[in-house]
């Protein structure tokens, strides 16, 4: 079940804010293409830190993307450990498809100016 949240009614996101928020979400996927296992966290983190003061929508969506990528990294490490008991080999493709799908959904929602709350996410950054 996906939950949408709306930006502050007093300050609707303009095209620039929506673009940066979408980049925060898709940045996690782009980070997965890099070799270090934490690049998926670093890309949204850097984007969020640079632009969070410019619009509340970017701040909100950047934190959401960052929290999800931190959880994704934890889930990936646990799945890797579960490969030693063979169940990780079943979980890994499911996790990869899940991450891909929800990141694309979040990116599209942010580009449209609607917020997105990722499922299965622990809120490390509030």
Q: What is residue 35's predicted lDDT score, i.e. its pLDDT? A: 58
Please tell me the predicted confidence (pLDDT) of residue 29.
85
In the predicted structure, residue 84 carries a pLDDT above the cut 80: yes
pLDDT value for 103:
95
What pTM, to 2 d.p., does this model score? 0.86
Give the list of residues 6+ apart from residue 121 with CB closer than 8 angstroms, or none. 64, 67, 68, 71
- Judged by DSSP in three states, 3 sits in strand
Average pLDDT of every residue of the chain: 88
Which of the two residues, 33 and 112, has the higher pLDDT score?
Answer: 112
Please count the other Cβ atoms lying within 10 Å of the Cβ belonging to residue 112. Answer: 11
Residue pair 44/28 in contact by the 8 Å Cβ criterion? yes
């Amino acid at each position: 079940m996906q939950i949408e949240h709306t930006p502050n009614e007093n300050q609707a996101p303009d095209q620039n804010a929506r673009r940066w928020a979408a980049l925060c979400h898709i940045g996690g996927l782009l980070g997965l293409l890099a070799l270090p296992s934490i690049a998926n966290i670093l890309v949204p983190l850097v984007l969020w830190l640079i632009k969070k003061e410019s619009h509340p929508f970017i701040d909100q969506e950047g934190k959401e993307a960052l929290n999800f990528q931190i959880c994704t990294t934890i889930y990936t490490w646990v799945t890797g450990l579960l490969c030693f008991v063979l169940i990780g080999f079943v979980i890994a493709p499911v996790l990869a498809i899940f991450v891909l799908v929800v990141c694309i959904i979040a990116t599209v929602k942010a580009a449209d100016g609607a917020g997105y709350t990722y499922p299965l996410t622990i809120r490390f950054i509030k």
